[in-house]
Amino acid sequence: MRPSLARLLLSLASVLPGFASAGYTTPPIAPLTTSAMPEGVPSQPFGIPLDRPFNQLTFAATHNSFAYYTPILRNQDKNIGTQLRDGVGGLMLDLHEYKGRVFVCHESCTNPINTKIYSLANWFNEDILPHMQQHPEAILTVFFEDQVTKAQLEAELKLSPGLANMTFDPASWPDSAEWPTARQMIAKGQRILLFTDSTSNHGTFNVGNGKATVMLDRDAMVENNWNLGDTIFSHNWSCDNHPFKPALNNKQVKFSGKRWPSLFLMNQFHSQGETLHARSDNNLSNLWKRVEDKCRAKTDRTPNFIAVDFYHQGDALEYAATLSHGGMVLWEGNNATQDAVCAIPYTGRPYAVNFQASNQRVSGCENDEARSATLLNLKAGSVISIYDSPSRSREDDWTTLEVTKDFEKITINSFETARWPDGILLKWVNHNNGLDGKVSSVTLGYPEPPMIVFYEGNHTSQNIVCTLVMPGSGRQFVNFQHDPYGCDNDEARSARFYNMKKGQHVTIYDSPNGAHKDDNIQIEILKDIKYFSLPTFEQSVSDPSYRATFYRKNGLDGKVSGVLMEASNR
């Protein structure tokens, strides 16, 4: 039904005798679905949670970030500027001396595979520093595989005066149990972390009108062995120690006077850069297996950097953001089994993901696949809704999860049960024909409005008849004989009420005109209540949070034809 026609019919209904005698008016139609929500994340990249310590953040890093232009032995196929705009938070650069300067080259600068080479200062001045200036809340880590002398490195850094006072200097921070938070690093202007693997080249350098600090990587982090295998047919998922780096179970930095936890760089790539390798290495199921099943046992921590080839293949960006922000990983099987479907970060900025749309910023969410979820690092008050409908219609199956206290990890074994783990989640379930394996859309960060879900059967059984959202102000009457919501006339026998607020009133009528002379039940909300059900409309109820008063003539169950919703006390 067209909205204009629906409004006309409702306007006509408002002047019918029974309805007009009550003095009711009909406000504009309230939205039933969440189709107006922005889809995809508001802006890519996902950003970082500013109030978490740096050692609790995870970034996707690109192995041989510069090796996108070589005809063979490439490790990336997008330039560094694009990598940064896409949300890459770590760059790996190989430094070599060439013609008296420090250049970034693959293996050696005279190797013919390097058809284009650029100096380190060029990368900073043309790509890295402009990006950091344009994104004042970005934090970037640069890893040098360093084959130059300290004097050569200092001379090259002086050609990037914009680095002055932008680099992270551990000595300028007080001791604490954690690294500074992202917000503190941003406030102090120390948003670029430079690490070298050369024991000779770390220290503080005079650059422009200030200083640039280069840290020794092994003083700050541990690192696993980098080779997953030599061919696509070999996959060594074990998490073994890098032969030249500190032990993986090392827990503390070696910076003087600091108790900060050491960071963890997880290398996740084959010995030869190939897109076929990357599709497997960067696959979410394999990333999860490496982090949770292999590396966590060796390191007792979440990686701070996940270094990959061809970062746009697979799920490294989404997974890293989910580990940083918290969020959820969806699974093909119940009980978090079979393959992972996709990772969706909970950024704190409300957004929606349509699994059928092709322009979504969260990749890999296949339609009609997910049957369960693992929720990670969510805070009390977080809200996630999962829908069968790609347009998020509440006429089809949907479930809402509301987090009631902070947690690190919880598995939702099925979307079709109202039982929640350990009392941590309040789970609202509304089903027609099942949600497991039928998920088409997800929203994050949108608190559910006050609403009523009507059911065909008593005790909120059988199919959903329709869902009505309470008006934000005033009153609204819905005539089930003429409405745009799909509320079938003479069908509803029970209802669930969600997020109801003190002072709201709902009257459910047998009469399509809202006449009180026929059966009706009046519900008054006495105090805010998250959830309650009316298993029948033919019974009065007295509860501390609500009162339902039934006025009988010849029965109301299966005869509902109208509903009046009022936002405040009469």
Q: In the prediction, which pLDDT does 220 show?
A: 98
| 460 and 550 inside one domain | yes
The domain that holds 60 is classified in CATH as: 3.20.20.190
**DSSP summary character for residue 352:** E
Give the per-residue pLDDT at 45.
Answer: 67
Number of H helices, E strands in the chain: 12, 30
In this structure, are 425 and 562 located in the same domain?
no
Residue 387: name the closest of 398, 403, 402 by CA: 398
Final residue in a domain of this structure, among 294, 315, 336:
315
Distance in angstroms (rounded) separating the CA atoms of residues 321 and 546: 42
Q: Which of 257, 290, 315 is the last residue of a domain?
A: 315
Q: Are residues 432 and 457 in the same domain?
A: no
Q: For residue 350, is the peptide bond before it cis, meaning its omega torsion is within 30 degrees of 0?
A: no
Confidence band (pLDDT; 50, 70, 90) for 22?
very low
Residue 479: pLDDT above 90? yes
CATH code, domain with 364: 2.60.20.10
Q: How far apart are CA 386 and CA 78, in angstroms?
A: 34
| pLDDT tens readout for residues 445-462 | 998 899 999 999 999 999
Out of 150-154, 304-308, 319-323, 416-420, which region has the weakest mean confidence (pLDDT)?
416-420
Domain match, 159 and 294 both: yes
Strand locations in 22-88 (E): 59-62
Range(s) of the domain holding residue 344: 326-444
Query: Considering the domain boundaries, does residue 189 fall inside one?
Result: yes
pLDDT grade for 444, boundaries at 50, 70 and 90:
very high
Residue predicted with more confidence, 424 or 159: 159
- What pLDDT does 569 receive? 60
Q: Point out which residues pair with 550 in neighbouring strands.
A: 521
- Whether residue 180 sits in one domain with residue 99: yes
d(CA 455, CA 138): 49
Q: Is the pLDDT of residue 376 over 60?
A: yes
- 25, part of any domain: no
CB 183 within 8 Å of CB 50? yes
Quote the number of domains for the chain. 3
440-473 CB burial, b ≥16 within 10 A, e <16: bbbbbbbebebbbbbbbbbebeebbbbbbbbbee
Q: Has residue 154 been placed in a domain? A: yes
- Domain match, 386 and 364 both: yes
The candidate with the shortest Cα–Cα distance to 105, out of 51, 55, 64, is 64
pLDDT at 19 over 70: no
Q: Report if residue 457 sits inside a domain.
A: yes
Q: Based on the domain organization, do 378 and 438 belong to the same domain?
A: yes
Residue 31 has pLDDT above 60, yes or no: no
- Give CA separation, 43 vs 85, 133, 334, in Å: 10, 17, 32
pLDDT score at 363: 81
State which of 427, 444, 461 marks the end of a domain: 444
Looking at the fold, whether 117 and 193 belong to one and the same domain comes out as yes
Could you say which DSSP state residue 290 is in? I
Tell me what percent of the residues of the chain surpass a pLDDT of 70.
91
Q: Is residue 547 part of a domain?
A: yes
User: Is residue 28 very low, low, confident or very high in pLDDT (cuts 50, 70, 90)?
Assistant: very low
Regarding whether 420 and 274 lie in a shared domain, the answer is no
Q: How confident is the model at residue 236 (pLDDT cuts 50, 70, 90)?
A: confident
Task: Write the CB contacts of 332 (distance below 8 Å, at least 6 apart in sequence).
Answer: 338, 339, 340, 341, 369, 370, 371
In the predicted model, what is the mean pLDDT of the chain?
A: 89
- Indicate whether 324 pLDDT > 60: yes
In this structure, are 233 and 308 located in the same domain?
yes
Residues 310 and 330 in one domain: no
> Does a structural domain hold residue 432?
yes
